Structure 1
Amino acid sequence: MIRHAAFIALLAGPVPADPVRIDADRLSVTVQTPDGPVEIMRAQDNEGVITGDFARTSRACPPFCVQPMSPAAGVTTIGELELLDMLADPEALVIDSRTREWFEGGTIPGAVHMPWDRITDQLGALGCTADFEGWDCTQAREVALFCNGPWCGQSPTAIRAMIGAGYAPEKISYYRGGMQLWRLLGFTLAEGG
């Protein structure tokens, strides 16, 4: 198994004289993971392209229908810069809500895997406490959920289930671009699992 640092170095390569930055001020962002710090940056290959499943433009709908910009009232939809800020915030949690096979194919460094179809069983890990009516999530963490991209319904479904179980929508962010846009922008990947 390739460790995180070696995997990142393999993807990022050497930084060229004119580096590909995240934004005008940042070349990289370091996030803490259970395996230690990981530096997230964009691939430094100006010839880089997406291949495989994430290069596909069309999938049968249903189930792969274009998702709404916001999966539920009160939920904030975010982009990559906001997601990077959440990854760097030790109080926030970024959740990869995809199925295990997708997660194992690579994920966003620092993301925690909580499959969309079992997320309400794991609300205790997010700061909710069980009560007689279900869950009390008044002390729950700020979270961001993502899945495969604008055509993936896993994180929107998980978000609606969380809200239905008592999670405040204002504590939930939705990274709609998901893994497809993360890869399109050449960001660092981590091994899932």
Structure 2
Amino acid sequence: MLSRTVLTVAVVGAFFASQTIAQTTAGAADGSFTYQGQQKNISQASSADTATMARFYDLRDGCEGLCIAPDIAANDVETITENTVLAFMANELSNGTGLLIDSRLPSDRALGYLPASASIPHTLVTPENLLLPEILKALGARSLLGAFNFSDAMTLVVFDTGPTTMDAHHLVNALIAAGYPAAKIKYYRGGMQVWATLGLTTEGLSS
């Protein structure tokens, strides 16, 4: 179970991000931003690294055969591409109104993750988890007499391994079931698989 301290540190870090990301040419991203006091650089390699790509194609999602994630995670949740993720980093993430959420389990996140993303495994957002109210509060929801007001909640971009897995789909729907507004959630379906295939910067690569 995710501790309150770990979650709070991950979320609060978004409020200290400032950045500039620009597409210098069509299809190429180059820029940097500051997150939790550290400079993060986003760039696109001239060619994808096959070893990095391969680490995100171990299909362990519990499907019989190949999973194919739906194009839409839930009604009123926008499905976005890499360019929109980069714009999100440049805007909502940098001004503290948004959070980039990795919905994978810690064992999968250890393989690598998007820069400045916070880990909220989809398995934590359940009615049975006594920390669920704290998770929602960390995302900007306000609690009053046992009810939540999401008017100040952050805009979320949720991702997972990619189109062959369902973690992001599960987290998006669990958040909505908990009352989070669908209009404040975006679904990056490409996830780590497409991000790595495009040669974009990935952090936390394990050996």
Per the normalisation by structure 2, the TM-score is 0.73
Unaligned runs of 5+ in 2: 1-22, 127-131
Counterpart residue identity of residue 73, structure 2: P
Q: What is the CA-CA distance between 1:190 and the residue it aligns to?
A: 1.1
Q: Distance in 1 between matches of 2:84 and 2:54?
A: 27
Q: Corresponding residue for 1:49?
A: 50
Is the counterpart of residue 105 in structure 1 residue 106 in structure 2? no
Q: Corresponding residue for 1:84?
A: 86
Change in Cα spacing, 1:167 to 1:47, as seen in structure 2 (3 Å) is closer
Counterpart residue identity of residue 92, structure 1: G
CA contact (8 A) 2:48 2:198 kept: no
SS in 2 for 1:37: strand
> Deviations along 1:82-122, whole A, 9 cap, x unmatched?
00111222222111111001112210001111111114621
Q: Corresponding residue for 1:118?
A: 124
> Deviations along 1:108-156, whole A, 9 cap, x unmatched?
0011111111146211111012344553212101110000001111111
Is the counterpart of residue 178 in structure 1 residue 191 in structure 2? yes
CA contact (8 A) 2:59 2:164 kept: no
Out of 120, 143, 159, the residue aligned to residue 146 of structure 1 is 159
Per the normalisation by structure 1, the TM-score is 0.77
Q: What is the CA-CA distance between 1:74 and the residue it aligns to?
A: 0.3
Unaligned runs of 5+ in 1: 1-20
SS in 2 for 1:139: coil
Change in Cα spacing, 1:102 to 1:59, as seen in structure 2 (3 Å) is closer
Q: Which moved more, 1:163-172 or 1:49-58?
A: 49-58
SS in 1 for 2:72: coil
Aligned residues: 172
Q: Which moved more, 1:137-146 or 1:60-69?
A: 60-69
Out of 37, 41, 58, the residue aligned to residue 39 of structure 2 is 37
Q: What is the CA-CA distance between 1:56 and the residue it aligns to?
A: 5.8
CA contact (8 A) 1:80 1:182 kept: yes
- Higher relative strand content: 2
Q: Distance in 1 between matches of 2:177 and 2:204?
A: 31
Q: Distance in 2 between matches of 1:135 and 1:63?
A: 40
Q: Corresponding residue for 2:26?
A: 24
Q: Distance in 2 between matches of 1:66 and 1:47?
A: 23
